[in-house]
Chain A
Amino acid sequence: MTTPLLTLDNLHVAVEGKPILNGLHLAINDGEIHALMGPNGSGKSTLAFALAGREGYEPRKGEMRFQKRDLSALAPEERARLGLFLGFQQPVDIPGLGVMPFLRAALNAKRQARGEEEISPADFLRLCRGAAERLGISEELLRRNVNDGFSGGEKKRLEILQMTILKPRLAILDEIDSGLDIDALKLLGHAVNALREDGMAALLITHYRRLLEHLALDKVHLLRDGKIARRGGAELAEIVEREGYAA
């Protein structure tokens, strides 16, 4: 049996002294799409931050292994360069930092970590414009500062654009579907499916099944009180939608 891309073993995380995750187990293989559902406060976003390495979300107990590496030993940027991508629920604006210089620096940081050449400005421009066009992101938005004055939907589209350009091994998308209309949901579905063909795995954190309709789900996990309360296939998402999280 091959080692999963991501293995979470008995994960415990407390935020500001309050236990949030209490012995979580999860394994994701290359190319798999998982959904993580659960009521507000069940620890979904905490898991996302713990995986990405946000300060204050360090595990108290348990293990997080990504590509056989212990994630806890890595800085957030090192995790990112290994191919771990977090699509933020609430992306922050960054005054002074343009979308394109930001994206290019991020892509080059990753390429550098892999011992690859920096992308030429012309190639980057082509890559960025192409991806933006497919996602319905205007040139004007690309010229602005990161998330500066963006609407909720525009912010989410920019997250998808970043994922598309950075081509992660694992994308954790935290309520990426909130604030997206049906068309954008479809685009997101296409983007994830396309990346999946190159082997990307994804963990979709969501309340709603509507995003999941555009994707072939491998597994659904129901999070309650900081633990996986129930596991199943795509059918579990339907049950949750019909009967609520108490299902």
Chain B
Amino acid sequence: MSRIEAQTRETAEALGENYKYGFITQLEVDKAPKGLSEEIVRLISAKKREPKWLLEWRLKAYARWKTMTPPSWAKISHPPIDYQELHYYAAPKSQNAPKSLDEVDPELLRAYEKLGVPLMERERLAGVVSSNVAVDAVFDSVSVATTFKDALAEKGILFCSFSEAVREHPEIVRAYLGSVVPQGDNYFAALNAAVFSDGSFAYIPPNVRCPMELSTYFRINEAKTGQFERTLVIADKGSYVSYLEGCTAPTREENQLHAAVVELVALQDAEIKYSTVQNWYPGDRDGKGGVYNFVTKRGDCREKNAHISWTQIETGSAITWKYPSCVLRGDGSSGAFYSVAISNNKQQVDSGTKMIHLGKNTKSRIISKGISAGQSSNAYRGLVRVHPKAEKARNFTQCDSLLLGPDASAHTIPYIDAGNPSCQLEHEATTARISEDRLFYCRQRGLSEDDAIALIVNGFCREVLQKLPMEFAAEAQNLLGLSLEGSVG
């Protein structure tokens, strides 16, 4: 066994043992019975005291889902998911619509503290924590706390749980829900539309620059429970918002299902920056356990000169199936996708983006960095489509893959559909291996193998890491280290 091979094995072992978010929080839970049926959909809607229109919307999605089959085109494999074996609703029992942070179960607050999520705005006000992030925390199926609501409300910014938005701002929710990702968009989006339990909602009024990062923190705690959250962000004309999303789950032997939907709407001259650090439990080194992450994320640049960018650091999940996309509808609008996807052990990643150019002079930029170690498989799958009316559309795509060890694989699968002769599309792709001779070169200069790999990986991802808001950049860099520990110091 060569050194790098041995190193990769060690890495794999280290990762399985080092998932530091693997703890389970003991809470009394209000759980729906196992299985999926029209009754369960009705139950979820009733639990949340939803208006009739939303129940009907869910039922329509459920009826649609029943007729659909799971997609089979992705470069992933897993045993079929038994949807009747899952719970579709779980809420911490003590959590009866907290009115303020004081009413939140201390056990929950402790759980988030362990995760490093800054929920305690009091501390910030007292100057203890120098954080500039408003957080909406989602625990299993429900949103448990939203911070800094008052500070945001002064600017007219709405930031709350999805359920609260349905109650307090039904007209906005109704106008935009499903307008970017329709109920029947795909198998997992339809499932989400039927059973989604909570999520985050943000609305930025015209010409307001959101003064802080908005953030959602997702945590799956309960066993055998699917998490189906829904996020809706609307940036009205001329506004700006930067939104962060983080995810973790406990170490469990069985697989957990996560099927979220994120819809972004940017109106004229508005800008949305959406960043994700995804660190769901990836399973152990033999591929046992881990989250199945089937997520639909899409942004709509609905009017002129709108801008949406997706930045993601993907290190977790046993399976990642995720294509944050931009529909560039407004003339002059632009979309971007910056991604670092790390896979190790037996993780499977099939991720990428879709840039749909509909308007004139629309621009998109795709920078994808895939790092595969262990026996993992890491595929970039991307679509650039230029509609016949999208005069002078432009895209630049760059996909770089870095392989660690002999058993990891990387794949680049671009789809390009140029419907207008005036468009300009560029695609660049590279694959490099951190080979024995490259490591030897570094070691000959006095660097340890771990330090060399850390430097190489950080350099490789630099372009994407730079796109992250400051609050997340350090966390992301740590995460890169943690995910490749053993080969990264």
Contacts and interface: CB of A to CB of B under 8 A. Distances in A.
Most buried by B among A76, A105, A145: A76
B444 A52 contact: yes
Most buried by B among A94, A101, A145: A94
Nearest to B463: A96
B459 A98 contact: yes
Contact of A55 (B400, B440, B448, B461): B440
Contacts of B456: 94-97
Given A92-B437, A101-B459, A106 B2 contact: no
A96 B436 CA distance: 16
B111 to A, nearest CB: 36
Contacts, number: 81
Contacts of A92: 435, 437-438, 441
B451 A105 contact: yes
B4 to A, nearest CB: 9
Contacts of B432: 95-96
Interface residues of B, number: 29
A182 interface: no
A60 interface: no
Contacts of A166: 445-446
B442 interface: yes
Contact of A80 (B445, B458, B461): B445
B443 A55 contact: no
B460 interface: yes
A189 B12 CA distance: 47
A179 B444 CA distance: 22
A118 interface: no
Most buried by A among B430, B436, B440: B440
A98 B462 CA distance: 11
A77 interface: yes
A91 B442 CA distance: 11
B446 A88 contact: no
Interface in A61-117: 75-77, 80-81, 85-86, 88, 91-92, 94-98, 101-102, 105-106, 109-110, 113
Contacts of B74: none
A50 to B, nearest CB: 13
A162 B445 CA distance: 9
A54 interface: yes
Interface string A16-35: 00000000000000000000
B402 A106 contact: no
A91 B462 CA distance: 24
B460 A80 contact: no
B444 A55 contact: no
Nearest to B459: A96
B457 interface: yes
A162 B446 CA distance: 12
Contacts of A97: 442, 455-456, 459
B441 A91 contact: yes
A86 B443 CA distance: 11
B78 interface: no
A145 B444 contact: no
A54 B2 CA distance: 12
Given A95-B430, A95-B460, A101 B455 contact: yes
A84 to B, nearest CB: 8
Contacts of B437: 92
Contacts of A55: 2-3, 436, 440
B445 A96 contact: no
Given A95-B402, A95-B460, A105-B455, A75 B443 contact: yes
B68 interface: no
A109 B459 contact: no
Interface string B451-487: 1000111111110000000000000000000000000
B444 A86 contact: yes
Contacts of A75: 443
B46 interface: no
Nearest to A106: B445
B443 A102 contact: no
B378 to A, nearest CB: 16
Nearest to B432: A95
Given A97-B455, A97-B456, A110 B446 contact: yes
A105 B445 CA distance: 9
Contacts of B447: 77, 105-106, 109
Contact of B457 (A96, A110, A113): A96
B355 to A, nearest CB: 25
A97 B461 CA distance: 10
Contacts of A91: 441
Contacts of B451: 105, 109
Nearest to B431: A95
A179 B448 CA distance: 30
A9 to B, nearest CB: 23
A94 B446 contact: no
Contacts of A85: 444
B446 A96 contact: no
A88 B441 contact: yes
A153 B432 CA distance: 23
A86 B455 CA distance: 21
Contacts of A52: 440, 444
A88 B441 CA distance: 8
A108 to B, nearest CB: 9
A96 B404 CA distance: 13
Nearest to A98: B459
10 residue pairs, one from A and one from B, having the closest CB atoms: A96-B460, A96-B459, A106-B445, A109-B446, A80-B446, A76-B443, A95-B432, A77-B443, A81-B446, A96-B456
Interface of A: 52-55, 75-77, 80-81, 85-86, 88, 91-92, 94-98, 101-102, 105-106, 109-110, 113, 145-146, 162, 166
Given A76-B440, A113-B446, 15 more contacts: A54-B440, A55-B3, A77-B449, A80-B444, A92-B438, A94-B442, A94-B456, A95-B402, A95-B456, A96-B457, A96-B460, A96-B462, A105-B451, A109-B447, A109-B451
13 contacts: A52-B440, A55-B436, A76-B440, A76-B444, A80-B444, A80-B445, A91-B441, A92-B435, A92-B437, A94-B441, A102-B455, A109-B451, A166-B446
